[in-house]
Amino acid sequence: MSKVVIVGGGAAGMFASIAAAECGHQVVVYEKNEKLGKKLYITGKGRCNITNACDMEGLFEAVRTNAKFLYSSFYGYTNQQVIDFFERINVPVKIERGNRVFPVSDRSSDVIRGLEREMDRLGVEVHLRTAVKKIVEKDGHFEKVILGDQTQVCADACIVATGGLSYQSTGSTGDGFRFAESLGHTVTECMPALVPMECKEDWVPELQGLSLRNVNVTICDGKKKLYDDFGEMLFTHYGVSGPLILSASSYVGKKLKAKELTLKIDLKPALSEEQLDHRVLREFEENQNRQFKNAVHKLFPSKLIPVMIELSGIDPEKKVNVITKEERLGFVRLIKNLECTLTGLRDYNEAIITKGGIKIKEVDPGTMESRLVKGLHFAGEVLDLDAVTGGFNLQIAWSTAYAAGTGIESADE
């Protein structure tokens, strides 16, 4: 049995401690916050989207960065095993739209409690409000950690599970990147991911709070299409958010840092332009003696009506029966192609995850052990791995944590 130090008590740190303790190791967790699982508490709007119940192919497709690296860890600890684990520790789960897996109670606190109970059962020692200042290696082997009060803790192995840079209020302040670099590792360029985006147009803040379901969103760089998907989005006081936009940020974020991009929203993707024209024509015929501004209430949510009228360029006071065919077709095109300019990403405080991290070429994919420092392992968001929304990023945390926890050699090996 080895003594294992785990730096960070979030999803990956807690899970790695359970995996290592199950292998018979003596495990100590150091967490600088006053409680474990602080970021886990706010994931999935406080409901905690534990994983995604799709098939293995779907898991790999959802990973945006370095999916191949996850081959052995995803197969080593699958999404089905995650589901079985939580059921076994009395956190029953349910599957919702898009194969998203949540606790039946809809409470992330139940997920954290379940993990804590299991850690307790396995004898994991937890030190809260205890920051690790430095990780020390000797002759290419991990030797010890130095705590904030200068206490030195020697151990046989160390797992760094400190998260990335997103939601810094939960303690994700890039400590793991600093440790890794001090030990000779490369940290790739980091940026916020799964993050809302800012828009230029004045009419966008007028729609603050409006959620659009079943729309199609396309993001373009000139004529080049960078992202295209169907789902749900939300307008905010600064721009756009919601599941579609958050996922899109992982595809277009790098490009958006360099230049403005165009967001196109198809408000009626189920209808072709021709079908939509028939629909608009029907509305116009039913309201032919009314003013344009009073004739489109069935087409949009009420908050969107004044914006669509203004953008159409049609005089709002104009009677519907004198609107020209050109004006009507222009209005149809607007509904199928509502455009605004994306100017940038919001910051880490609004980002669900961090894109970038410890370079995976320097890490063994089977055990998450550093290729540079023996006995040093990494797990979770500190690695250069990220996926779209839907429980996939937590699956990365569980799978890499399991690989790290079970990949530690016994002291006598």
* pLDDT computed for residue 411 by the predictor: 65
Which pLDDT score is estimated for 412? 62
pLDDT digits (tens, 9 = 90+) for 139-194: 999 999 999 999 999 999 999 999 999 988 888 899 999 999 999 999 999 999 99
Cα distance from N-terminal residue to C-terminal residue, the chain: 9
118 Cβ neighbours under 8 A, 6+ residues apart? 18, 89
DSSP for 223-257? TEEEEEEEEEEEE-SSEEESHHHHHHHHHHHHHHH
pLDDT digits (tens, 9 = 90+) for 182-230: 999 999 999 999 999 999 999 999 999 999 999 999 999 999 999 999 9
Given the structure tokens 């165009």, which residue do they identify? 262
> Which has the higher per-residue pLDDT, 373 or 412?
373
Cβ atoms of residues 250 and 193 within 8 Å: yes
Q: Could you tell me if residue 345 is left (phi over 0), alpha (psi between -120 and 50 degrees) or otherwise beta?
A: beta
Long-range pairs for 171-175 at CB < 8 Å and ≥24 separation? 171/31, 171/32, 171/33, 171/38, 171/39, 172/39, 172/348, 172/354, 172/381, 175/7, 175/8, 175/32, 175/131, 175/132
Largest CA distance in the chain: 89
- Spatial distance between the Cα atoms of 339 and 323, rounded to a whole number of angstroms: 23
C-alpha to C-alpha distances, 330 to 262, 291, 303, 317, nearest whole angstrom? 19, 18, 21, 17
Mean pLDDT (the chain, rounded): 96
**Which pairs with CB-CB distance under 8 Å and at least 24 residues apart come from 325-333?**
328/277, 328/280, 328/281, 328/284, 329/277, 331/280, 332/273, 332/276, 332/277, 332/280, 333/273
138/284 Cα distance (integer angstroms): 79
Q: What percent of the chain has pLDDT over 90?
A: 96
Q: Is 99 helix (H, G, I), strand (E, B) or coil?
A: helix
- Chain position carrying tokens 């840079």: 165
- Tens digits of residue pLDDT in 312-361: 999 999 999 999 999 999 999 999 999 999 999 999 999 999 999 999 99
Give me the pLDDT at residue 134, please. Answer: 98
